[in-house]
Amino acid sequence: MKYPAVNRDLVAGRLPLGLVVSLFLLGAATLSAQESVGSHEYRADGETTIETVDGLRVITLRDNVFVRQNAVELTGNVAVLEYNLDNQLQKVTLTGAPARFQQESENPSAAMSGYSDTINYFAGQDSIVEFIGTASFTQPGTSLLCAQIRHVIETGATSGRACSGSLSPQTN
């Protein structure tokens, strides 16, 4: 008995419908996962420049800058966004008078905010926000005024230098 050497559907440029649907669903799932993990947007009223520096893609935004990475929003005068070779956001450095940080939460009483002369936001699995120069940071139960503040978003760990602040009772 002879068997055909090729699949006639593939030779004719047609793929079986089941294969087409499977490829479409796989691509849609991959795209959705990529968007949700690192979804972000940015805008500025002034000049925007894009260049490659030391293997990083660097985007500089000027004048009335807005940057959003998932639930984190940053605003200020100038933002420098650094991307790795896989086009994933690594770091945002924001300056302003002042630069501002806000993280929304499904629970409005769990929202965090802060401001300082400079904000460094490190995107990734352990997202970190640093406030440098005349820094203020407010999270549920804590308000800080410091020269410098560092906050790890996922763990809630916060440290500061030259600080004063207040604590209020928290309800769990």
pLDDT tens for each residue of 24-40: 333 333 332 333 345 78
CB atoms within 10 A of CB 82: 17
> Do 147 and 158 lie in a common domain?
yes
Number of domains in the chain: 2
- Is residue 2 over pLDDT 90? no
The pLDDT assigned to 171 comes to 58
Q: Which residue has the tokens 């008995």?
A: 1
100 & 152 share domain: yes
Q: Are residues 92 and 31 in the same domain?
A: no
- Confidence bin at 170 (pLDDT 50/70/90): low
Q: Where is 58: in which H helix or E strand?
A: strand 56-69
Q: Which two tokens stand for residue 59?
A: 């985007």
Residue 3 included in any domain:
no
Which range marks the domain in which residue 24 is found?
Answer: 8-38
Range of lowest pLDDT (49-58, 79-88, 162-171): 162-171
The pLDDT tens digits for 99-148 are: 999 998 777 677 899 999 999 999 988 899 999 999 999 988 889 999 99
Q: 106 and 81, same structural domain?
A: yes
Handedness of CA 74, 156, 38, 89 (dihedral sign): positive
- Preceding omega of 16 cis (within 30 degrees of 0): no
Look at residue 15 and give its three-state secondary structure.
coil
CATH number at residue 92: 2.60.450.10
Average the pLDDT over each of 89-93, 143-147, 159-163, 165-169 and give the range with the smallest value.
Answer: 165-169
Residue 60 structure tokens: 């500089």
Please check whether residues 46 and 31 belong to one and the same domain.
no
Q: Are residues 29 and 69 located together in one domain of the fold?
A: no
Gyration radius (Cα) of the chain, Å: 23
| Lowest-confidence segment of 15-19, 161-165, 166-170 by average pLDDT | 15-19
Average pLDDT score over residue span 87-106? 92
User: Which of 36-45, 57-66, 92-101, 148-157 bottoms out in mean pLDDT, i.e. has the lowest?
Assistant: 36-45
